[in-house]
Amino acid sequence: MGENDYLPLFETRASRGRFLFKLYVLTIFVAICMILVYRVSYLPVEGAVEIWSWIGMFVAELWFSFYWFITQLIRWNPVYRYTFKDRLSQRYEKDLPRVDVFVCTADPEIEPPTMVINTVLSMMAYDYPPEKLSVYLSDDGCSDLTFYAMLEASRFSKHWLPFCKKFETEPRSPEAYFRTALEPLDDPLKAKEWLFVKKLYMDMKNQIEATTKLGKLPEAICKENKGFREWNFVSSRRDHQTILEILIDGRDPQAMDNEGQPLPTLVYLAREKRPQYPHNFKAGAMNALIRVSSRISNGPIILNVDCDMYSNNSYSVRDALCFFMDEEQGHKIGYIQYPQVFESLTKNDIYCNALNAEMKVEFPGLDANGGPLYIGTGCFHRREALSGRKYSNECKVDWKKVNDTKVEESTGVLEEVCRVLASCTYEENSEWGKEMGLKYGCPVEDVITGLSIQCRGWRSVYFIPEREGFLGLAPTTLLQTLIQHKRWSEGDFQILLSRHSPFLLGHKRIPLRLQLSYCNYLLWATSWFGVLPYLVVPPFCLLRGISLFPKVSSPWIQPFTYAIFANRAYDLVEFVWSGGTFQGWWNGQRMWVFKRTTSHLFGFSDAIRKLLGSTKSAFVITAKVADEDVSERYEKEMMEFGVSSPMFNILATLALLNMFSFFGGIKMVIMNVESKVFDLLGMQIILCGLIFFISLPIYQGLFFRKDSGRMPNSVTYKSIIVSLLACSIALY
Ligand SMILES: O=c1ccn([C@@H]2O[C@H](COP(=O)(O)OP(=O)(O)O[C@H]3O[C@H](CO)[C@@H](O)[C@H](O)[C@H]3O)[C@@H](O)[C@H]2O)c(=O)[nH]1
Ligand SMILES: [Mn+2]
């Protein structure tokens, strides 16, 4: 192939027709400047409350302006990637590299074993040479139930893999497939086979679920495999030796599916845990997997998924390789991030978990600005980059040679060697968790690790396949959503404050526009600087009759209304364009306020406390199952409160304060029609009104609902007292 007729394995297209967007940005920019000019030139001269309120609003607006700037920077010039899998096959089919898949699970109760093995099975069934595919499960829950389910899955895979090939099934998680697929009616022979495999799956599932419900394995099952004996030595989930079993050794000529084809390697690992050693959550699990897999299969490409993210597209590995193996650009690429897509969402996505705008607009924009973040799941890594190697020109891989090395040890010996690699002491006095592998000490181990990979000179790529690559589960209650966002905002902010921040570590190593783009997420924790003043000061001042905005009749009102409403209109268009509904957008506005006044506020304070050394970071795992009545309310899109939490106290208090002020404001307007109250306070009344309408589900939860998902009484009482107190302070 000559220099000139090189055909790339992927291509990058910038999105076109951005003129309207850029015009919109320009007009908002002008409006923002005018708002700031107004604030500075009309600073009240007397009255402490007046002056301080004014300053509070000004701080909020400065914050909004800055944040607006970085959100536009991310949106400025998104790029989209396309792959050519046929070219990959033509050139490299025989030399495809080994690929290691890492699945992490941590708790058999909130991450049920059937869900875990469905993810594992979907990964084993990739359209990829099985002898080059290895799937590793890290079980931080150290559960014999999960181990048992994995054994069952390894048996079932002998039927499932040939079945997937024959029927070209998609998706390849049996649960997801059988949930929707219809039996093939055209061919009775095929139908018989189809029904047979379906029954096999159902039987396996029922048996695993029955055993899980019991919570204990029957003797008979334990006798079947020597692996179960390991649990005799497990004192608790936090105190046990390494358990490592190679359930299928791909090298074993006996490891065949029922059509005589080889099977992918399958490994179960519960790394050693001891109370005196920090286990570092998912980052620790991943690092153990990196080491263990380096001995067993040592694939140069690693795919990392959470246990709830099954593969929905059997070509994802090939797509990813189109990037890594591209002759001109591939060697620079450290990781390829796929979007996080969730299948558990309701129609109008009541908790706004879809991340549509992030995944469809912001990440393509990040890709243009220097590369997307690593977000923990659905990400293909180059092993070298993940392990800590710096990028250099020598990183060019000779793909024709990568498969040359062979492991010689027997399965038993390999297991022995690898147990040591997953022990607690192995990492002592080493660079693991610092310069090697995923970084420790941060609740968003993914983002901080991705950033450090980029700072070591690697490029990252964002790829949205036509058929979604991975489908996962999002939180299904309000509190879980808020807690997840607290973990994210806290971790992200911690990165910004640390020496790993994009501005310190990234200085001169990644482009400035990428440094700034990172702030879009790393500054989440500070968002309450903007939002809290806007939720507290206007209603408070409204009750006192202090005006914070230009008169409705003044021309100065225009930049305010334009900046607020045009911005929201743009947001709506973007939301609907990326697949949402109008009601979903409205729900998103509510969650926007909720997250900023609770998750981000708490994330901020915990990050600061951690900086001062008074707390340690934790990782609250998101539940993947819920009680029946909770799920039922979720399906009906009823907001779930149910338990008391300081987060709910804040939400309810703010909602009540704005409600009192809104009605107070309306009353003032009605009582003094001639005195132009509306002209003076109109904008504040409208703002309080918006918060009032956004908070309707809160009032329902506080006063009108009877079900167990309503606000607990303690929250109701506390919020009423505090908001009334605030109102009386305002009035007197
Ligand atoms: O001690 C732990 C805790 C968690 N996990 C696993 O980490 C994954 C993510 O946990 P989850 O509770 O589902 O968190 P999410 O907020 O949904 O996860 C997102 O955010 C995390 C960082 O906050 C990333 O680790 C995840 O990959 C990313 O999907 C799951 O597979 C867990 O089993 C472990 O392996 N060990
Ligand atoms: Mn998750």
Question: Which tokens hold the place of 491?
Answer: 């971790």
Percent of the chain with pLDDT over 70: 99
Question: Which tokens hold the place of 653?
Answer: 């208090």
With cut-offs at 50, 70 and 90, classify the pLDDT of residue 4.
low
For Cα atoms 188, 189, 192, give the angle at the middle one, nearest 5 degrees. Answer: 85
Task: Say whether the ipTM exceeds 0.95.
Answer: yes
* From 249, 446, 492, 606, the catalytic residue: 446
Global pTM value: 0.96
Give per-residue pLDDT as tens, 204-224.
999 999 999 998 898 888 998
In 3-state terms, the chain is what percent helix, strand and coil (to 5)? 55, 10, 35
With a 6 A CB cut-off, is 414 part of the ligand 1 pocket?
no
Domains of the chain: 19-76+511-731 (no CATH), 83-474 (3.90.550.10)
Q: Distance, CA 307 to ligand 2 centroid (Å)?
A: 8
If one residue of 102, 103, 104 were mutated to test the ligand 1 pocket, choosing by the most ligand atoms within 8 A of its CB, it would be 104
Give per-residue pLDDT as tens, 342-373.
999 999 999 999 999 999 999 999 999 999 99
Task: Examine the residue annotation and report whether 86 is marked as an active-site residue of this protein.
Answer: no
Considering only CA atoms, which of 268, 20, 299, 21 is closest in space to residue 120? Answer: 268
If one residue of 619, 620, 622, 624 were mutated to test the ligand 1 pocket, choosing by the most ligand atoms within 8 A of its CB, it would be 619
Cβ-contact 120, 153 below 8 angstroms: yes
Q: Is the pLDDT of residue 621 over 60?
A: yes
Give per-residue pLDDT as tens, 6-51.
899 999 999 887 899 999 999 999 999 999 999 999 999 989 999 9
Q: How many CB atoms lie within 10 A of CB 2?
A: 5
Give per-residue pLDDT as tens, 622-637.
999 999 999 999 999 9
Cα–Cα distance, 136 to 249 (Å, whole number): 12
Q: Distance, CA 7 to ligand 2 centroid (Å)?
A: 38
Residue, of 397 and 583, whose pLDDT is higher:
583
For the chain, what is the largest distance between any 2 Cα atoms, rounded to a whole number of angstroms? 93
Q: Residue with the nearest Cα to atom 31 of ligand 1?
A: 306
With a 6 A CB cut-off, is 446 part of the ligand 1 pocket?
yes
With a 6 A CB cut-off, is 492 part of the ligand 1 pocket?
no
With a 6 A CB cut-off, is 337 part of the ligand 1 pocket?
no
Percent of the chain with pLDDT over 90: 91
Question: Which tokens hold the place of 6?
Answer: 């090189």
Q: Is the pLDDT of residue 1 over 50?
A: no
Looking up tokens 């997953």 gives 422
Considering only CA atoms, which of 682, 431, 412, 445 is closest in space to residue 549? Answer: 682
Q: Distance, CA 482 to ligand 2 centroid (Å)?
A: 13
Up-side HSE of residue 317: CA atoms within 13 Å toward CB?
29
pLDDT, mean of residues 253-271: 96
Cβ-contact 244, 268 below 8 angstroms: yes
Give per-residue pLDDT as tens, 289-308.
999 999 999 999 999 999 99
State how beta strands 310-311 and 470-471 pair.
antiparallel
Q: Is the pLDDT of residue 406 over 90?
A: no
- The whole-number pLDDT of residue 530 equals 95
- Does 306 show up as a binding residue in the annotation? yes
Closest-lying ligand 1 atom to the alpha carbon of residue 103:
31
Task: Examine the residue annotation and report whether 446 is marked as an active-site residue of this protein.
Answer: yes
Question: Which tokens hold the place of 684?
Answer: 């504040």
Q: Distance, CA 622 to ligand 2 centroid (Å)?
A: 6
Using DSSP, how many helices (H) and how many strands (E) does the chain show? Answer: 26, 12
Q: Residue with the nearest Cα to atom 23 of ligand 1?
A: 444
Q: Is the pLDDT of residue 716 over 80?
A: yes
With cut-offs at 50, 70 and 90, classify the pLDDT of residue 3.
low
- The whole-number pLDDT of residue 658 equals 98
Cα–Cα distance, 93 to 315 (Å, whole number): 14
Q: Distance, CA 115 to ligand 2 centroid (Å)?
A: 12
pLDDT, mean of residues 162-181: 96
With a 6 A CB cut-off, is 376 part of the ligand 1 pocket?
yes
